[in-house]
Amino acid sequence: MAQVQKCFGSHKALKGVDLEVRKGEFFTLLGPSGCGKTTLLRIIAGLELPDSGHVLLGGQDITRLPAAKRQVNTVFQSYALFPHLNIFENVAFGLKARQIEPFEVRRRVAEKLEMLGLDGLDKRYPHQLSGGQKQRVALARALVNEPDILLLDEPMSALDAHLRTQVQEELRRLQRELKQTFILVTHDQDEAMVVSDRIAVMREGLVEQVGEPREVYSKPRNQFVAEFLGAANIIAARRDGGRVVTSLGSFDLSAAPAWDEGSLAIRPERIVLADGQDGDGNWVRAKVREAIYRGQSLDVWLTPDDSAAGDPFKVRVRTHGKDHLRPGDQVSLFFPPEDLVALDQA
Amino acid sequence: MNAKRPVVALIAIVSLIFLYVPSLAVAIFSVNNAKYGLLWKGFTWKWYTQLFSNQAILDAALNSLFVAVISTAVATVLGTALALGLDRFPWPRRGVKAMDLLVHLPVVTPDIILAAALVLTFSLLRKLSSVFEMGMFTLILGHITFQISFVTLVVRSRLAALGRDIDEAARDLYASGRYLFFRVTLPLLMPGIMAGAMLAFTLSLDDFMISFFTHGPDSVTLPIYIYSSVRRGISPEIHALSTMVLLITVVLVVIAERLSRFRREG
């Protein structure tokens, strides 16, 4: 995919997106609503034409190829099952539209229904199914065509939280088994982490960062990516020789920043909390302001002792739920050099 | 609050009675064994049997049916096409609004205005061809003109309820334009189309105003026949005829209502 742009009236939904999705990977377009991720998906599906740019599939330009001629199938957010057809006919639709032999149609539909645990439901109609079942029918209906790419447009948004986690893991397993290329659109960063081989984080029609979940989470390129993928401490900083000076003190970084003045990011759970220990490099003494117990973790808000002039800087630390900390407790914090990330200017 | 309820219920019932007293009166007098007067002289079916041996009435009934069937068939196809065109073609937003208004307008325009406009149009067209002499052809054309809007409105509301996802899903699943239309759009739209057709059919059967101005000597419909008979004096036969027309209309309306509810949950 190269330089894809799309405008709706004066609003630019996509401002030049360059992405390459590898064959057989689970790729996710992640971003807040209105970032253009769904528009991009629809362009790949052939349901929307880009104003400029190209979509390539296996080296072939498919930008102008209509949806009906693309080896790409979609699971729609609303599932969009055919209400007048039963489950068998729904799943068989794509095969019948291409005039595949009836015998072959029956074999392939039965295979997919079984794979997705839908056997026995083939005579039912969509309105007789639960949300989870409908979703699996939508999945079967797309997968039965053995597409080069399977597109998933927020397929989990209509499911309740418990079911969602289960379906995410199932989807992951399914993709591993089939070794087909999946492209998922979602605004849920947990979902993106669970299922993806690689994630593209999007904002306002642009791709901010592409990488493996581990990479985008622990090495976010800028403040937007850092904050969209979870909690982050953002610290204003200035470069001074080999070290970086902040209002909390000076730190060593494993990768030196490219700027003279900018910001650092560190995940709350990467800051090491210790009593009584101390040291020279990357240690900060701080006082607990608030501790929020979350069961699996304890979120602690701290004010560093050396918090220079004006309003006290707050640091968020996430530690396991076993720790007992009360407001006013004095602690030492260690900022590991490899977990401090220098952010690009947004 | 509770104290007001009986009053509201009473008003509702009185309104309903008010609505149906005339029809009920006609129905009662259609089985009254008296040629004149308003006194009850016993039950009889004889006005109904006379009705079926009156050639003029049978001709008028046949004409009504013929006009209704032909005009409904044409108006349903045209109205459905118009609804599809309005809904599926990527018109500029303002264009759609203007066209929506144009579709709605005939529904609220008084029939007499449309009738007068048709009289004028046909008299102009007569200069081109004698086909437009007032008769069966002009009558059918007249009916089609007011039916189209109703069909379009009913079909459009069904289209709006369906949404576009289903069409997109079908295209995504390799359906060509034809396959999409005949296997997905048309079957899903069918309840709406049938409801629209039923409505158009009833409107055609009932219509007096347009028919009165556009018919010719060869195309007297039931409402026109009733009108001219009533001018000569009301007879029990006319009561019987009116009652039957009323009953047929009720049946058609109920069917149309059923059809438009059918499978809406899908």
- Tell me, yes or no, whether A60 and A130 share the same domain: yes
- What is the pTM (predicted TM-score) of this model? 0.80
Question: In this structure, what CATH number is given to the domain that contains residue A281?
Answer: 2.40.50.100
Q: Does B88 contact A at CB distance below 8 Å?
A: no
Give the span between the Cα atoms of A120 and A108, in whole angstroms. Answer: 15
In A, which residues are within 8 Å of B166 by CB distance? 80, 82-83
Does the beta-carbon distance from A67 to B166 stay under 8 Å? no
Q: Phi and psi dihedrals of A84, rounded to 5?
A: -95, 0
Mutate which: B158, B173, B178, vs A, most A CBs within 10 A: B173
Report pLDDT for A309: 45
Residue A44, in any domain of the structure = yes
In A, which residues are within 8 Å of B184 by CB distance? 82
Residue A225, in any domain of the structure = no
Domain boundary among A162, A192, A218: A218
In B, which residues are within 8 Å of A72 by CB distance? 172
Question: In this structure, what CATH number is given to the domain that contains residue A181?
Answer: 3.40.50.300
- Tell me, yes or no, whether A184 and A245 share the same domain: no
Alpha helices by DSSP H, listed for A125-279, are 131-143, 161-178, 189-195, 213-218, 223-228
Q: A162-195 pLDDT, tens per residue? A: 888 888 998 999 999 988 899 999 999 999 999 9
Kindly list the strands in the beta sheet with A149-153, ordered across the sheet, starting from the edge strand earlier in the chain: A72-75, A149-153, A181-186, A26-30, A198-203, A206-211
Q: What is the dihedral of CA A209, A214, A217, A218, to 10 degrees?
A: -110
Tally the C-alpha atoms within 13 A of residue A280's C-alpha that lie toward its C-beta. 1
Give the span between the Cα atoms of A196 and A186, in whole angstroms. Answer: 11
Q: How far is A81 from chain B (nearest CA, A)?
A: 7
- Tell me, yes or no, whether A259 and A207 share the same domain: no
Does the beta-carbon distance from B173 to A94 stay under 8 Å? yes
- Tell me, yes or no, whether A286 and A315 share the same domain: yes
Q: Which residues of A touch B (CB under 8 A)?
A: 45-47, 66-69, 72-74, 76, 78, 80-84, 93-94, 97-98, 125-127, 141-142, 145
Give the domain range for residue A186: 2-218
- The residue of chain A with its CA nearest to that of B173 is A94
Does the beta-carbon distance from B175 to A45 stay under 8 Å? no
Mutate which: A47, A87, A143, A152, vs B, most B CBs within 10 A: A47
Q: Which of A302, A292, A315 is nearest to A232 (CA)?
A: A315
Mutate which: B164, B166, B172, vs A, most A CBs within 10 A: B172
- Tell me, yes or no, whether A262 and A294 share the same domain: yes
Q: Does B165 contact A at CB distance below 8 Å?
A: yes
Nearby residues of B35 by Cβ (< 8 Å), 6 or more positions away: B235, B236
Does the beta-carbon distance from A93 to B172 stay under 8 Å? no
Domain boundary among A186, A218, A250: A218
- The residue of chain B with its CA nearest to that of A94 is B173
Residue A226, in any domain of the structure = no
In A, which residues are within 8 Å of B176 by CB distance? 68, 97
Report pLDDT for A232: 86
Q: Does B93 contact A at CB distance below 8 Å?
A: no
Q: How far is B95 from chain A (nearest CA, A)?
A: 16
Does the beta-carbon distance from B168 to A78 stay under 8 Å? no
Lowest mean pLDDT segment, chosen from B43-52, B171-180, B181-190: B43-52
End-to-end Cα spacing for chain A? 24
- Tell me, yes or no, whether A206 and A236 share the same domain: no
Looking at domain B41-261, its CATH architecture is Orthogonal Bundle (1.10)
Two tokens, residue A145:
């065509």
Average pLDDT of the segment spanning B25-47:
83
- The residue of chain B with its CA nearest to that of A149 is B172
Q: How far is B251 from chain A (nearest CA, A)?
A: 26
- Contact (CB, 8 A) for A340 and A266: yes
Tally the C-alpha atoms within 13 A of residue A190's C-alpha that lie toward its C-beta. 10
Report pLDDT for A278: 67
In A, which residues are within 8 Å of B88 by CB distance? none
ipTM of the complex: 0.80
Tell me if residue A6 falls in helix, strand or coil.
strand
- Contact (CB, 8 A) for A184 and A40: no
- Tell me, yes or no, whether A132 and A172 share the same domain: yes
Tally of domains within chain A: 2
- Contact (CB, 8 A) for B181 and B112: no
Q: Does residue B115 register a pLDDT over 90?
A: yes
Domain boundary among A218, A252, A278: A218
Average pLDDT of the segment spanning B185-206:
90
- Tell me, yes or no, whether A176 and A250 share the same domain: no
- Tell me, yes or no, whether A309 and A192 share the same domain: no
Q: Does B181 contact A at CB distance below 8 Å?
A: no
- Contact (CB, 8 A) for A39 and A62: no
Residue A237, in any domain of the structure = yes
Average pLDDT of the segment spanning B138-152:
94
- Tell me, yes or no, whether A35 and A159 share the same domain: yes
- The residue of chain A with its CA nearest to that of B188 is A84
Does the beta-carbon distance from A80 to B166 stay under 8 Å? yes
Residue A241, in any domain of the structure = yes
Q: Which of A208, A76, A74 is nearest to A145 (CA)?
A: A74
* pLDDT average per 10 residues of sequence, chain A (346 residues): 46 77 91 88 88 82 86 92 94 93 94 90 91 92 93 87 87 91 93 93 90 93 90 85 81 82 87 72 82 81 66 69 77 86 78
Q: B63-105 pLDDT, tens per residue? A: 999 999 999 999 999 999 999 998 888 788 888 888 889 998 8
Give the span between the Cα atoms of A41 and A152, in whole angstroms. Answer: 8
DSSP secondary structure, A64-101, as one string? TS-GGGSSEEEE-TT----TTS-HHHHHHHHHHHTT--
